[in-house]
Chain A
Amino acid sequence: MRMLYIEDNRELAETVIERFRNEGHAIDLECDGEEANELLRHKQFDLILLDINLPGKSGFEILRSMRARKDKTPVLILTARSEIDDRVIGLDAGADDYLLKPFDFRELSARCRALARRKAGNARNEFINGNFVFDMASKCATIDGVDVELRNREVQLLEVFLNNLGQVLSKEDIADRIYTFEEAPTLNAIEQLITRLRKKLDRSPFFVKTIRGLGYIAHVNDAPD
């Protein structure tokens, strides 16, 4: 994986770069905001780690100009700012994820993998994680290469979850997305549907967690590539 790390603190940058190189990734460092922005105009990366406080140009500006150029490279923001507004702005400006400094490298690595996987998956029209593969074109899911038999509704539900990993979805949200207005399902029906999906994907890294009063949150346990 080819990555660009934009960070003005060399000490921190060196530890991160060394860890990534040890894991076998190609990672470049850029310390100046202005120069990083120029570099991104000409070179393509698989993933960008972006600090916010930079000399030259702020991380947000770099991000905005990337997105303005329709550059869809996944961006993970690393910030030391404490106020949540910054994160919100970061996500609004088109960041794919964020992490607060100081961070645990294992966490950073996992997030990077997830982002890279999503990018790769989108490109191949497949979702792959460990033993779990979901082909978005044929709507087939396999665990350890074995087909999981999924009904239409279950496929729809799985798609909804995979598109909103890590986000809380209420029953109403789910109903809106997989049923038409006329079908008007009971909320109970959705619970049963989720229970069925959970059972069928039991052995996969994919799971759905219930939060009473809020809804559901889906997650795929990270597996090393």
Chain B
Amino acid sequence: MLMMPRTKRRQSMRQRLLLGMLAGFIAILSIISIGLWRYADDAANQSYDRLLSGAALVILEHTFLTTQGISVDIPYSAMETVGLARDDRVFYRIYSQNGTTITGDSQLPLPDVIVNDKIPYYFDAWYSLERAHFIVQSRLLTEGSHSDTVIVQIGHTRRARNSLRTDLIINGFSIALIVTLVGLFFIWIGINRALHPLIAIEEDLRQREVTDFKLLQVKPPREIASLISSINAYIQRLKNSLEHSQDFIADVTHQTRTSLGTLQGQLGLATQETSLEAMRERLQRADCQVQRTIRLNNQLLSHAMVIHRADKQETSNFSLVDLARSTLEQIVRDQIHSHIEFAFILDDLAGESDIIGGDPISLREALRNLLDNAVRHGPPANKIDVRICKHQSGVSLIVDDEGPGIAKDKHKKVLERFYSDTLGDTGSGLGLAIVNAVALSHKATLSLQNSPSGGLRVRLDFTNGGLE
């Protein structure tokens, strides 16, 4: 059952090629047939016209002028010549220019033109219930001072002509048909040969273990080289991604266990304390640890959600300004008791639309993380600016703070998961990784700079406008 669709698809490719070729051959065959018909007709007529012409000439050679007028001695060979068209009836008449029949059948149909000296004229006519083909040819006879023109009309039924024509057509068509079949046979072989590397790849992939990430080793023909390299690139990416997620699981495991271990340790110590004061002290630290664990958890889930949504590629068009404003409003509300000064700055977009295509939920998560980081790492009287401005080919979202910033040499490092500049502090090390993931899925450029106020500037440059 599982094999069915695969073989079906393989056949259909072959069929498609074969059918295409067949259609081509049929077209060619049709053209050949039309040509063949005309050729066969001409050839049959020409061959049998030669018989008629030969017979007419021989008869004309045996005409002579006597004192009684024109006479003729039809030679046996003349009739034998026409008789080569074995099964055809023969009609003839020899007559003078004034229409007097000298010998032969006086009822024969006349040509509709006047026959010139020497030039044979051919025509078809019905006679004696059959269609016949005639030649008329004339000759000027001179005897002393006397001269007269003798005309020979000889014709036969079309049986031999038609059968020769049919034979020619059938033979020609048979050859064309055989050529077609042989052609299709070779094409079939060709297709099979051409598909061979694909089938080999199929075998290779089908027999693989899930964990086998060896690159395909077939030596592909030029036409599918790019396919193979794409498959190989895909295998490589898959391998990287798997390694990545293995790393991620390891990291997550490490982080959560460490966090929970710390909590457990502090709670354990608290139960050992004898003085109430010391116990409270321990419990307060445990509480802090709980806060950190919760945040770590939230960040992990947020990261997972962002990655998941990027995979699902649920995208829509939305206004970056509206999204930034509503996110900032939420943060402001959450931070109402703090002394942080927030600002929302809209630079002149100069006609550039703030509509971008993407996943608003992920992007809101990213911005929330950026603001969260700014709040977390900045001084109590922090100043946090959210700015939307125009760059060369789109809009940018910029978050500035007055925190300590990040040293330039660590800018790349902090985008990785679980790397926190201030290790052991409240940072989970996931915030910028989330932002980075969202930036990637939105094809936006994420850059870390120093803000004019001395803190960190995080900049997201969206290149694309809205979706189509």
Which residues of A are in contact with B by a Cβ distance under 8 Å?
Answer: 82-85, 102, 166-168, 209, 211-214, 217, 219, 221
Kindly list 11 other residue pairs between chains A and B, CB separation below 8 angstroms, not including A213-B346, A214-B342, A221-B337.
A84-B361, A209-B336, A211-B343, A211-B344, A212-B343, A212-B344, A213-B386, A214-B329, A214-B344, A217-B329, A217-B333
> Which of A84, A168, A209, A212 is B364 in contact with, Cβ under 8 Å?
A84
Interface size on B, residues (CB 8 A): 21
Interface set, chain B 397-416, CB cutoff 8 A to A: none
Tell me the bound Cα distance from A138 to B343 in angstroms. 36
Tell me the bound Cα distance from A213 to B346 in angstroms. 7
B294 adjacent to chain A (CB < 8 Å): yes
Q: Look across to chain B and name the residue whose beta carbon is closest to the beta carbon of A87.
A: B330
Task: Given A211-B342, A213-B345, A221-B337, answer yes or no on A82-B332 (Cβ-Cβ < 8 Å).
Answer: no
What 0/1 pattern do residues 331 to 366 of B give for CB contact below 8 A with A?
A: 011001100011111100000000000000100100
Give me 24 A-to-B residue pairs in the complex whose CB atoms sit less than 8 angstroms apart, sorted by A's number. Answer: A82-B301, A82-B302, A82-B305, A84-B364, A102-B294, A166-B333, A166-B336, A167-B333, A168-B332, A168-B333, A211-B332, A211-B343, A212-B341, A212-B342, A212-B344, A212-B345, A213-B343, A213-B344, A214-B342, A214-B344, A217-B329, A217-B332, A217-B333, A221-B337
How many Å from the CB of A191 to the closest CB on chain B?
Answer: 15
Are B344 and A217 in contact, with the CB atoms below 8 A? Answer: no
How many Å from the CB of A100 to the closest CB on chain B?
Answer: 8
Tell me the bound Cα distance from A134 to B414 in angstroms. 50
Contacts of A166 in B (CB 8 A): 333, 336
How many Å from the CB of A85 to the closest CB on chain B?
Answer: 7
How many Å from the CB of B373 to the closest CB on chain A?
Answer: 19
B325 adjacent to chain A (CB < 8 Å): yes
Q: Look across to chain B and name the residue whose beta carbon is closest to the beta carbon of A100.
A: B298
Tell me the bound Cα distance from A216 to B336 in angstroms. 11
B437 adjacent to chain A (CB < 8 Å): no
B370 adjacent to chain A (CB < 8 Å): no
Q: Look across to chain A and name the residue whose beta carbon is closest to the beta carbon of B293.
A: A102
Contacts of B333 in A (CB 8 A): 166-168, 217
How many Å from the CB of B49 to the closest CB on chain A?
Answer: 92
Are A83 and B305 in contact, with the CB atoms below 8 A? Answer: yes
Task: Given A102-B294, A221-B337, answer yes or no on A214-B301 (Cβ-Cβ < 8 Å).
Answer: no
Contacts of B328 in A (CB 8 A): 211, 214
Q: Look across to chain A and name the residue whose beta carbon is closest to the beta carbon of B297.
A: A102
Interface set, chain B 354-402, CB cutoff 8 A to A: 361, 364, 386
What 0/1 pattern do residues 281 to 305 of B give for CB contact below 8 A with A?
A: 0000000000000100010011001
Contacts of A168 in B (CB 8 A): 329, 332-333
